[in-house]
Structure formats: structure tokens, C-alpha cells
Amino acid sequence: MCTDKIHTGLLVISYATYLLLGAIVFWALEKNTEIEQKRAVIQMKEAFLQNFAHLTVADVEQFVKNLTDAVQRGVYPVGNESQTEVSNWDFSNSFFFVGAVVSTIGYGTQCPKTVAGQIFCVFYASFGIPLTIVFLHRVSKMLSLLCERLGRWLYQKGMKKKKIKFLTLLFFLVMGILVFLCLPSLVFQVVEGWSYSEGVYFAFITLSTIGFGDYVVGKQPDKNYPSYYRSLVAIWIIFGLAWIALLFNLLTTLLEDTEKKIAQDLHKRGKAGKDNEENRKRYHPVSFVSAEEPSLLGSGGDAQKTVSLAAHLGDAKQMETIFSL
């Protein structure tokens, strides 16, 4: 037990260190490039405002294209040059990014632009994703042990096993939904200005690693977010992944058990139907009556022969043929 705790502690420290180092490296590689991109976009906007009365259609189309490219890179051309100080690659945002990378969510709203950052991202994800799987497996195991302890406690109180199984599963579902879906959605409603249903939608799409990218925290340029906001969201994502992975595993097991039970019931019904058919053939006689066949036997000449065959399937008796002359 002590050894298991030591392994868990070392895994937590190693994983946290890996995330922190990744955030620091991306912060160092991408921050200056992003500042230059923001300044170029601000200058492009200022030039457009100064000369918009003399612009041609081609100039406007080029401006719109440059503006779209800037937004896709995560650079929002609002405000003046002083807003370039607000970076998408500060430590908090970089930590959120590495969390999205190793969890394979991939929103698509933030990505490295430098060659060094892109190459580092490849190697970082190659080692970070397996490490995340190991870490999530350990967290899921701890959640399972918590449910087992609850089950043993209820069993000591004299509760039946079927009821214990139902209550532990209900506890797991309710607490997980409350901690990883309901409460975070309320936070998103307050901080992001979303509706509560949008917060629930974002939470599930994120934790299930679907990651459409239509809703992303901390990306509205007109809001001032706390510096630690996206880091906390990244931690919520990592532990929420462990819960939802265990939930999906339980649902998969439930569906597989249901499928096996249905297959067994169908097999039993098919076997019972076949047995009933065999019993019906075995115990119910089948009579065959032949057509009347005239025969001339002796000098009287107008006698008629009647044939009756009685067969009992499964009996040891031989068929009898009765002729009446």
C-alpha cells in the first residue's frame, strides 16, 4: 500500500513537471512572434482607416483576407497597439495549450507558429499523450477505489449487494456530474457570459475530447480574465477526463452485458421453440389415408379395398395395414 502511494506521488510530480516545462517552453518560443504579428495587424488596420476612402475593391478584399488570417491565428485586431501586451502565449495560456495538446482535445484556436514551436509540439505530444494516459488510468483507479470503499462501508451497515452496487454507481454519477459538469458550467456562465446550457455543452464537448472549438474559454477580447483562469480550466480538464473515461467504460460494460443477455435470451427462446416442435411431432400421431383403390378378388368381382395407415413417430411399433374385403 505504501509503495502504491509512492508510485502515485511520483507520477503526479512527474506529470505536473512535464506540463509546467511544456508551458514554459511554448511561452518562450511563441510570445515574441505573437507580439510582432499583433503589431503588424494593428498597423494594417490603421493604414486601412487612413486610406479607406481611396481603396479599391481589390484592396478591400485583401484587407478582409488578412483580417481573417489574423483571427484564425488567434490575433484579434481590436483596440490600439497597447493591447499587444495581452498575450495568448503568457504562462497561463501556454499551460492551457499544453493541457489541450496532451489531452488530444485540439480546439484549433491556438497553435504554434514558429518552426521551433511546431517541432517541439510534435515531440512534446509524442511523449505527453502516453504519459497522460498513464496518469488518467491512475486517477480512474483512485476513483474506483473510492467507490469500493463506499461499497464496503455500506455492506458493513447490512445493506444488500444489489442495492450497494446501485447506490455506488449513483454516487459516482451524481458527484461526477456535479463536480465536472454542473459547477464548472456555472463558472463559465459568470466568467464568459454564456448561458448555462452553453456552459454544459462546452464542458461535455471538452471532456469527451470532441473539441469543436466553437466555444473556448478565455478568448473574448473584450473581457479581462484572471491570470490563473485558463490554468485552472486546464487542471479541471485533466481530472474531468479521468472521470468521463471511467464513465464511458462503465457504459460500455453495461451495453456489452445487455447485448450478451439479449443474445442469451434469444438463444434460449430459439432452443425452447425447437424442443416444443420436436415434442409436438413425437407425441401427436399423423394419419395418412390413401385414396380408395378398386380390386377384383374372386368371382364376386365388385368388392372395394380401404387402406388405413397409422404411424406413431418415435415409437417402436411397425405400421399396420388393414384391408377390408
More confident residue, 1 or 161: 161
State the pTM of this model.
0.75
Phi-psi map region of 75: left, alpha, beta (phi>0 left; psi -120 to 50 alpha): beta
List pLDDT tens digits, range 119-166. 999 999 999 999 999 999 999 888 888 888 888 888 888 888 888 888
pLDDT bracket for residue 267 (50, 70, 90): confident
**For 13, left (φ over 0), alpha (ψ -120 to 50), or beta?**
alpha
Gap between the Cα atoms of 266 and 151, Å rounded: 34
Place of cell 365388385: 302
Q: Residue 290: which residues within 8 A CB-CB, separation 6 or more?
A: 307, 309
Q: What is the pLDDT of residue 151?
A: 87
